[in-house]
Structure 1
């Protein structure tokens, strides 16, 4: 690899962990700083998809190391035709992929760009590719992805076009695995699985708690609505009673006015009768 290639790889790795919204401005700035042939190559770097950027964050966070180690153990089990070990590692692989995909989503959210469901699915496919295929793992572990990797769609130069800068041919050949190293790798993978299972159990407990609280809230809301309906019915009856009482008051006030008029007329009649009586007595 030439010095220019190495420099391009270094700059690309630094740029491709920046939030995608900042990539273009930062790339142009770094291209101007580098100048010359390297600068021109930097200026041509593609902006990463959000999923590719999240996987780059996962690589920088060091979370793919155990996944790659599990991949090697899986290949060993395949080579040895160990069906029981292969089944166990397959379960661990699926659990580890899910845990690492969640970790990538956490890193992306912490960096200010939450993943959509489509992007989260692309991240999970890329992590799975790193575990299943050593060539894909070598590309992904550069931390220079510009596009997510999907083994189902991997053909031709698709892998090369998914990586900025140089593309490693394969993972470095690991030193011979002794029993201690194998046990350590297995324990690391099992620890990751346990952590994923604990996270899943915690999430399930939280979901159950939320469901229970939701049921209680719905029940309280139903009772409140029933009380509101009852109060509205009581209010309607009370309004009818009040209107009827007002009508009775109006009638009674009319009766009182008529009675007052009758009393007044009777008094006048009494006064006239007394006056006539007095006049008669004097004659």
Structure 2
């Protein structure tokens, strides 16, 4: 407020009477508005997080998504508690201790922001003078279980399970088809390899048969040749002896 007075005086001294009057009429913010303005300046990401959570909650309610509503409701309570604690810490840093009444007012504003994105936009400006028009706890359901269309919810859950089952079945069928194709390719490769091996075996068996026949023929030729050699050797011995006899005769 001292700064407001100083700005008004400076505008008046500068000759801008209209601006001076407007500055002088600016309302003193309530303690809740003051600390929320500090939050907007120092932690805008927290207000953005609040806005995103509110959008998710509104979407879940619009779709009667009971499971998501329950999850987000638990998250909502955690986020609001954390932000109230942060607000208390900001006030302590400025040497101010917030009463329970002020903290409840701040919590009501956060609750209203979850229900109405316009409230979050107003908070983000950091120019609140009061919170009375923003703190509307009725703007969002409390922690009580949401009212949903149970029939529609069960139908959607069955449809979702069917979509998941269908997705898994398609994935399994695709995997099985891929495995079958790989097995078929492996079988064809193995059959080709077996055929080449069988051909090699037939060729080797034919070569072995020819070698055995050649061996038999060679053995027969050896026997015949050995017989001829022995006959010739005997004849040569007889001739040698006959020659010696002739040479030794008078």
Q: So what's the TM-score if we normalise by structure 1?
A: 0.44
Q: So what's the TM-score if we normalise by structure 2?
A: 0.49
Over alpha carbons, which structure has the higher Rg? 2
